Amino acid sequence: MLADNWVLLVLGTLRAADGPVRFDELRGRLDGIAQKMLTKTPRDLERDGLVRRSVYPTVPPRVEHSITELGTDLSRITHAVGLGGGPPARDHCRQSGIRRRSGDRARAGGASRWAPLNRYRCGIDA
């Protein structure tokens, strides 16, 4: 479950929110996520007990996502591991992200496909 890049980003986004997040708002906060992944990821997280999805019978259907206590705990742990707990780890992450992006651009002839993940993990612009 945690091997998917979007799982960590969705959990982090929901943890940072001040309450339930509507589907379109979640899409706006997760730059570059495909419609399929935006539908599938929260459903999978709901099945695992990490996210609460509320579907309201309106036209069109209104869907709100919020993080559960278990999801909050897991998100804190993955965030701490991803950042390494301090400025030296963030500096390393920033430098390795810069090297990785420049290499990706050289190979692909454009922007890195990992830009959203790098920006979230390191707190830097891609």
For residue 116 the two structure tokens come to 């959203």
pLDDT score for 4:
75
| Whether residue 103 has pLDDT greater than 60 | no
- For position 126, what pLDDT does the model report? 41
Angle (CA) 32-58-35 rounded to 5° is 15
Examine the pLDDT at 113 and tell me if it is beyond 90. Answer: no
Check: CB of residue 55 under 8 Å from CB of residue 62. Answer: yes
Q: Is 60 exceeded by the pLDDT of residue 55? A: yes
Q: What is the pLDDT of residues 62-92, one digit of tens each?
A: 999 999 999 999 888 887 776 434 444 445 5
State pTM to two decimals: 0.63
Query: Does residue 50 have a pLDDT over 90?
Result: yes
Token pair, residue 35, equals: 């419609």
The more confidently predicted of residues 68 and 99 is 68
Q: Which two tokens stand for residue 84?
A: 């390494």
Q: What pLDDT was estimated at residue 14?
A: 92
Quick one: what percent of the chain has pLDDT higher than 90? 33
Whole-number Cα distances in Å, 14 to 24, 69, 71, 81, 94: 13, 12, 9, 18, 24
Task: Tell me what pLDDT residue 43 has.
Answer: 93
